């Protein structure tokens, strides 16, 4: 070796020193601390990809809440639960309209090209800027109906794109349930936070200024969505029919469970509203039922990620059905009518919200990446149809509170055992 070319280190730990063979006369020199890799070579600076999605979701929900508050005093809500049953039934059927657009059109469009999901978030926010400003003009006229419907379609498109984006913004698939739970908490919190200035603005300046503030919020949502980054890029594709069909077959028990819970939510909401109205119940009873359901949603977002440590998504869905069935049955047996509907509303809100977190995680984990947009759109259309069907039953046929709880218990238990019965039947037939 060349003289002076061999460097050796002595000692251990951060205080190591180095000496050369020529060494002794030159003394000891501390080793320099190894330089850290630059951020450019590792994780990018700033918020994480999922954190950016959370910001975009919060702004979108806040804008939607402001629009809802503005519409509350307008022509749009002249059709109320206190109106004739025919008008209530018509308003329920009309809630299917946005899904009739989202499922066949927007779902496949989201999947068709790389970056389609992020582009959908940006486009949905930008479109709602336009619809919010248009609603200012048509606030007290019939033109409000098509504009508000367009805003609702764009809101559903955002929801579908957001759900299919989640797995591309986190690295660990086991974190899907906690990620969905965090988004659910952000959704609820953003709606509450936006409602406070929204109501104040409605009372002091009028609905038009709520809509203008909503438009500004959607501008911020579009900017946040534009800055979104993904851990993994989209996997665009055409129509992967074989993979999608196989996936839907695998998800059938989960779809049945989620459909039953969504139908139960619609059924109990309208059964309680009409039954309590017939009984001339105090207004605080309606408020207690609504508050219990909302509290259940918050509880689900907090508890479901912890339960996921011990239960798979499939078992979480089964547990949700059994919890609703047992609670509704027990309420019929041991509780008075008004306390029973409050307790069941809380449990049903918890179970349905927790099951939705588990179901979304299943789709995000197992669905073909190139088909997740159309999958979420299709399933949301199915679940909304089930909610409408459940809500229509007590609108068309008067049902007592006790009977509604019995039907809810039977429906939840039937949905829980149906997949197992079907599986055994197929095994025997095979």
pLDDT by residue (tens digit) across 239-274? 444 445 545 557 888 999 999 999 999 999 888 888
pLDDT by residue (tens digit) across 4-18? 444 444 444 444 444
CATH superfamily label, 241-419: MFS general substrate transporter like domains (1.20.1250.20)
Helix (H) or strand (E) holding 323: helix 313-334
Contact residues for 10 (Cβ-Cβ < 8 A; gap 6+): 16, 17, 18, 19
Mean pLDDT of 210-235: 86
pLDDT at 263: 95
* CA atoms within 13 A of residue 269's CA, in its CB half-sphere: 20
Mean pLDDT of 324-349: 90
CB distance 21 to 6 below 8 Å: yes
User: Is 94's pLDDT higher than 90?
Assistant: no
User: Is 97's pLDDT higher than 90?
Assistant: no
CB distance 127 to 150 below 8 Å: yes
Return d(Cα 148, Cα 353) in angstroms, integer.
26
Lowest mean pLDDT among 5-9, 130-134, 210-214, 323-327: 5-9
| Cβ count within 10 A of residue 32 | 7
Nearest one of 134, 108, 110 to 121, comparing CA atoms: 110
Burial state string for 86-103 with b = 16 or more CB within 10 A and e = fewer than 16: eebbebbeeeeebbebbb
The DSSP code sequence of 16-47 is -EEEESSGGGG--EEPPPPPPPPTTTSSPSSS
Nearest one of 245, 180, 237 to 369, comparing CA atoms: 237
pTM: 0.72
pLDDT at 248: 56
CB distance 17 to 30 below 8 Å: yes
Residue with tokens 């749009």: 76
Return d(Cα 417, Cα 259) in angstroms, integer.
14
Phi, psi of 46 (to 5 degrees): 90, -170
Nearest one of 139, 168, 159 to 60, comparing CA atoms: 159
Q: Could you check whether 47-83+98-231 and 241-419 share the same CATH topology?
A: yes
So what CATH class is 47-83+98-231? mainly alpha
> What residue ranges do the domains of the chain occupy?
47-83+98-231, 241-419
| Cβ count within 10 A of residue 323 | 18
């Amino acid at each position: 070796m060349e003289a002076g070319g061999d460097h050796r280190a002595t000692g251990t730990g951060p205080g190591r020193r180095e000496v050369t063979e020529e060494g002794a006369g030159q003394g000891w020199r501390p080793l320099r601390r190894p330089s850290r890799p630059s951020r450019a070579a590792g994780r990018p600076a700033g918020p994480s990809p999922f954190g950016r999605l959370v910001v975009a979701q919060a702004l979108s929900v806040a804008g939607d809440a402001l629009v809802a508050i503005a519409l509350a005093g307008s022509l749009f809500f002249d059709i109320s639960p206190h109106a004739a049953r025919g008008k209530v039934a018509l308003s329920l059927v009309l809630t299917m309209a946005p899904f009739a657009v989202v499922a066949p059109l927007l779902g496949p469009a989201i999947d068709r090209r790389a970056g389609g999901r992020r582009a959908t978030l940006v486009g949905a926010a930008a479109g709602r800027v336009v619809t919010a400003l248009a609603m200012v003009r048509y606030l007290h006229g019939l033109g409000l109906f098509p504009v508000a419907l367009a805003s609702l379609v764009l809101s559903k498109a955002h929801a579908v794109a957001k759900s299919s984006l989640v797995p591309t913004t986190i690295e660990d698939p086991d974190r899907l349930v906690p990620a969905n739970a965090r988004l659910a908490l952000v959704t609820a919190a953003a709606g509450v936070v936006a409602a406070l200035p929204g109501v104040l603005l409605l009372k002091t300046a009028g609905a038009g200024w709520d809509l203008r503030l909503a438009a500004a919020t959607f501008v911020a949502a579009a900017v946040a969505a534009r800055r979104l980054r993904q851990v993994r890029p989209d996997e665009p594709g055409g129509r992967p029919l074989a993979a999608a069909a196989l996936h839907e077959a695998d998800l059938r028990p989960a779809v049945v469970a989620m459909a039953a819970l969504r139908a139960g939510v619609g059924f109990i909401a309208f059964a309680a509203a009409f039954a309590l109205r017939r009984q001339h119940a105090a207004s605080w009873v309606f408020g207690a039922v609504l508050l219990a359901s909302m509290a259940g949603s918050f509880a689900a977002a907090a508890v479901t990620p912890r339960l996921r440590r011990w239960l798979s998504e499939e078992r979480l869905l089964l547990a949700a059905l059994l919890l609703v069935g047992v609670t509704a049955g027990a309420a019929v047996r041991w509780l008075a009518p008004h306390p029973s509907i409050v307790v069941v509303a809380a449990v049903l809100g918890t179970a349905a919200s927790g099951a939705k977190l588990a179901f979304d995680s299943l789709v995000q984990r197992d669905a073909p990446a190139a088909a997740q947009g159309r999958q979420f759109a299709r399933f949301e259309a199915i679940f909304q149809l089930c909610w409408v069907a459940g809500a229509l039953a007590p609108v068309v046929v008067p049902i007592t509170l006790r009977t509604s709880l019995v039907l809810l218990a039977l429906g939840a238990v039937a949905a829980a055992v149906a997949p197992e019965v079907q599986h055994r039947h197929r095994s025997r037939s095979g």
